[in-house]
């Protein structure tokens, strides 16, 4: 069949996506939002994820070798160890649960050899309801796994011992494609699940050129995802598919008591649009129980602080605490991995066989003061206050205005003496800062101006600090990333982010070829306390330690919710701007009304002070409008942008 006919055939089947006549490959991911302010908070609220989801998932512990006893054993351990009371409540079944799809009516059949409680009198009429009921009776919630395409990841990338769906080609089509409404009704209404992870292998592992497809084992599906090339990836189509899942979830669970986890490994620019459709979205390929791989996963979120917030979380993948280089013999690494996930508001999903967890491991996962940082209701992802290849300081503003959490993270192979300053914390110089060590659960002596910590290789310190904020009556916008929404990022053409660690073991796990290259789009997105290209914010030689850096032709929304009275910022074209010829006008809107506007500012113009009264305003919008577009994107700085009471 030609590709054209193939697409038409898809259309005729009335499948859940219209992949026909698709948008160009370069499409950035759906309807481009206009630069003009909308006057209302645009981030859609849906699902049940006001805080980063916490729980357990079978994949990192068991891969497809999951069974009911293993799942319930870990569930019981979560209850007995007190982890449930800390917030770990989702017990998520990953790949491997399915036997097949029943051909007579398309109903999914559970593999009852590993989930015996799902068996009924008819081998093809199975039900997860008894297991889900059992989890609910334990005070837990239940999650299930599927794929957005026709086939799943275990089928596309089988391991030697993978438990795979059985039967004919059609019976082995276990993914959502063509069955969206039916499957979601089964999972959420009949079986009662609360959480769904939707993988994406159906969109890249079953293209016509794949040997298993050529051999007739699977129906061909066009490769919408090209993992290492975002500009060949069919971004808009993929976004549309995940959007249909979100909409269908709203229909099967109108009370929105669901969690929707998008798992397309950071491809297709999902790092920019995931928050419009999912409660969490993977920002990178799979984590492995190795230090270098953990760095890669962490790096994929740590510069994405403006894309996360209550209801919508960057997902650097599940925890590997307990295994490999994060096991009981590597407690420094395990603690560091956990502290990093906590401070960037990552979902805390355990991937470990808790039936055999030594106390030292449960103590890591059960570190209540660290979990409390992750679950802080303001939902501000930690922001980099200091960064180098070897050492990073990440600071997270907590919901009490004078408190922050801090991780000082030694990524490298040498011991480091790290200095933490009041400026890193945006606290006033010369004032007393109280410090608590969150692993040791004890207060340290207070300090003024600076203090230091000796860190062994791969060690981190996690603190909670209390002091006097630099702004007496408010906060910088870069201290409230949970209130920001990137409505328009100003990016013209997608570029892969070169800052993410590239471990030796990516891809096929060998050093054949020339090594991993940047693959995840996002380079050029707005940042807190940094330009979009990782330079310091600087206007005519003045460095701004606080502020928002963005590309011109961007629009950022701030959820002020009537809590502030004044906005102010020093604005201008950043000294690092590639484009020098254009001019940029900065505009501040409150609920759609223009409140303040700068003149058109060129590369040599002095910073302009923008100030506006925002009393009663729910949504503040910051627009940087380029006048006369040049050849390269202009880089703009909202220096010391702040909201005051």
Q: List contacts with ligand GAL (CB under 6 A).
A: 59, 94-95, 153-154, 199, 201, 263, 265, 286
Nearer to ligand GAL, 132 or 263 (CB): 263
Q: Do residues 606 and 523 make contact, with C-beta atoms less than 8 angstroms apart?
A: no
Residue located via tokens 């002020």: 560
Nearer to ligand GAL, 261 or 531 (CB): 261
d(CA 264, CA 335): 27
In angstroms, what CA-CA distances link 445 with 150, 425, 477? 58, 17, 30
Q: Which long-range contacts (CB under 8 A, 24 or more apart) does 168-172 make?
A: 168/103, 169/216, 169/217, 169/218, 169/219, 170/101, 170/103, 171/100, 171/101, 171/102, 171/103, 172/100, 172/101, 172/218
* Structure-token pair, residue 500: 């993410």
For residue 473, indicate whether it is catalytic.
no
**Burial track 396-423 (b if 16+ CB lie within 10 A, e otherwise):** bbbeebebbbbbbbbbeeeebebebbbb
Q: Which of 67, 94, 199, 376 is catalytic?
A: 199
Helix and strand element counts for the chain (H, E) = 15, 31
* Structure-token pair, residue 10: 């898809």
Nearer to ligand GAL, 286 or 437 (CB): 286
Nearer to ligand GAL, 154 or 323 (CB): 154
What is the 8-class DSSP label of residue 469? Answer: B
Nearer to ligand GAL, 310 or 503 (CB): 503
Rg (alpha carbons) of the chain, rounded to whole number: 25
CB atoms within 10 A of CB 158: 13
d(CA 229, CA 401): 42
In angstroms, what CA-CA distances link 517 with 200, 227, 337, 503, 507? 21, 11, 24, 10, 11
For residue 389, indicate whether it is catalytic.
no
In angstroms, what CA-CA distances link 397 with 400, 403, 485, 505? 8, 7, 17, 35
Nearer to ligand GAL, 155 or 619 (CB): 155
Question: If we measure between CA atoms, which residue out of 436, 313, 460 comes closest to residue 375?
Answer: 313
Q: How far is the CB of 288 from ligand GAL (least distance, A)?
A: 11
Residue located via tokens 């800052």: 499
d(CA 142, CA 187): 10
Q: Do residues 572 and 637 make contact, with C-beta atoms less than 8 angstroms apart?
A: yes
Q: Do residues 632 and 560 make contact, with C-beta atoms less than 8 angstroms apart?
A: no
DSSP 405-465: EEEEEE-SSS-EEEEEEHHHHTBPTTSEEEEEETTTTEEEEEEESEEEEEE-TT-EEEEEE
Nearer to ligand GAL, 93 or 395 (CB): 93
Nearer to ligand GAL, 59 or 281 (CB): 59
d(CA 111, CA 154): 15
Residue 385, CB half-sphere, CA atoms under 13 Å: how many? 25
Nearer to ligand GAL, 153 or 362 (CB): 153
Q: How far is the CB of 148 from ligand GAL (least distance, A)?
A: 11
Q: How far is the CB of 282 from ligand GAL (least distance, A)?
A: 6
* Structure-token pair, residue 527: 């940042």
Nearer to ligand GAL, 173 or 574 (CB): 173
* Structure-token pair, residue 448: 């003024």
For β-strands 542-544 and 537-539, DSSP reports them as antiparallel
d(CA 527, CA 546): 11
Task: Give residue 562's region: left, alpha or beta (phi > 0; psi -120 to 50).
Answer: left
Nearer to ligand GAL, 162 or 535 (CB): 162
Which single residue brings its beta carbon nearest to ligand GAL? Answer: 153
Question: If we measure between CA atoms, which residue out of 609, 567, 624 comes closest to residue 590?
Answer: 567
Q: Report the largest interatomic distance among the alpha carbons of the chain, rounded to a whole angstrom.
A: 79
Q: Which of 286, 363, 402, 449 is catalytic?
A: 286
Residues serving a catalytic function are 199, 286
């Amino acid at each position: 069949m030609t590709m054209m006919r193939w697409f038409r055939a898809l259309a005729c089947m009335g499948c859940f996506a219209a992949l026909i006549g698709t948008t160009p490959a370069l499409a950035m991911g759906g309807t481009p939002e206009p630069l003009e302010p909308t006057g209302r908070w645009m981030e859609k609220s849906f699902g049940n994820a006001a805080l980063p989801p916490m729980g357990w998932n079978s994949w990192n512990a068991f891969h497809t070798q999951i069974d009911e006893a293993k799942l319930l054993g870990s569930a019981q351990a979560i209850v007995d160890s007190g982890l449930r009371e800390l917030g770990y409540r989702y017990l998520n079944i990953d790949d491997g649960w399915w036997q097949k799809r029943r051909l007579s009516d398309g109903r999914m059949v559970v593999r009852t050899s590993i989930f015996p409680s799902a068996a009924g009198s008819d081998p093809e009429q199975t039900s997860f309801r008894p297991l889900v009921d059992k989890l609910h009776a334990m005070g837990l919630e239940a999650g299930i796994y599927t794929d957005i395409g026709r086939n799943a990841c275990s089928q596309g990338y089988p391991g030697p011992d993978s438990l795979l769906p059985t039967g004919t080609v059609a019976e082995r089509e276990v993914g959502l494609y063509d069955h969206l409404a039916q499957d979601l009704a089964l999972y959420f209404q009949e079986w009662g699940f609360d959480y769904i992870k939707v993988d994406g292998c159906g969109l890249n592992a079953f293209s016509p050129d794949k040997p298993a497809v050529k051999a007739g084992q699977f129906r061909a599906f066009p490769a919408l995802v090209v993992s290492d090339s975002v500009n060949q990836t069919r971004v808009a189509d993929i976004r549309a598919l995940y959007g249909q899942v979100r909409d269908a979830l709203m229909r099967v669970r109108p009370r929105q008591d669901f969690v929707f986890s998008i798992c397309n490994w950071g491809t297709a620019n999902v790092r920019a649009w995931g928050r419009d459709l999912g409660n969490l979205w993977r920002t990178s390929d799979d984590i492995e129980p190795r230090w270098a791989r953990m760095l890669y996963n962490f790096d994929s979120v740590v510069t994405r602080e403006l894309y996360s917030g209550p209801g919508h979380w960057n997902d650097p993948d599940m925890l590997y605490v307990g295994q490999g280089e994060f096991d009981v013999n590597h407690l420094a690494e395990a603690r560091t991995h956990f502290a990093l996930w906590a401070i960037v508001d990552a979902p805390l999903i355990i991937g470990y066989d808790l039936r055999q967890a030594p106390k030292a491991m449960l103590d890591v996962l059960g570190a209540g003061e660290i979990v409390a940082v992750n679950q802080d209701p303001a939902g501000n992802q930690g922001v980099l206050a200091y960064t180098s290849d070897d050492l990073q300081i990440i600071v997270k503003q907590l919901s009490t205005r004078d408190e922050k959490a801090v991780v000082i993270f030694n990524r490298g192979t040498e011991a480091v003496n790290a200095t933490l300053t009041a400026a890193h914390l945006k606290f006033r110089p010369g004032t007393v800062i109280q410090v608590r060590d969150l692993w040791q659960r004890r207060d340290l002596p207070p300090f003024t101006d600076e203090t230091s910590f000796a860190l062994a290789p791969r060690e981190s310190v996690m603190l909670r600090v209390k002091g006097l904020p630099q702004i007496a009556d408010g906060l910088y916008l870069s201290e409230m990333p949970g209130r920001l929404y990137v409505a328009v990022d100003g990016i013209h053409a997608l570029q892969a982010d070169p800052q993410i660690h590239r471990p030796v073991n990516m891809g096929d796990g060998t050093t054949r070829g020339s090594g991993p290259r940047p693959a995840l789009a996002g380079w050029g997105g707005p940042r807190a306390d940094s330009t979009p290209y990782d330079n310091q914010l600087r206007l005519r030689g003045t460095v701004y330690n606080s502020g928002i850096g963005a590309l011109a032709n961007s629009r950022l929304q701030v959820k002020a919710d009537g809590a502030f009275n004044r906005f102010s910022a020093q604005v201008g074209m950043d000294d690092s701007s590639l484009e020098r010829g254009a001019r940029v006008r900065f505009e501040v809107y409150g609920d759609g009304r223009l409140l303040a506007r700068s003149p058109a500012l060129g590369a040599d113009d002095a910073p302009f002070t923008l100030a506006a009264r925002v009393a009663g305003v729910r949504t503040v919008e910051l627009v940087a409008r380029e006048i006369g577009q040049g050849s390269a994107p202009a880089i703009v700085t909202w220096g010391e942008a702040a909201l005051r009471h």
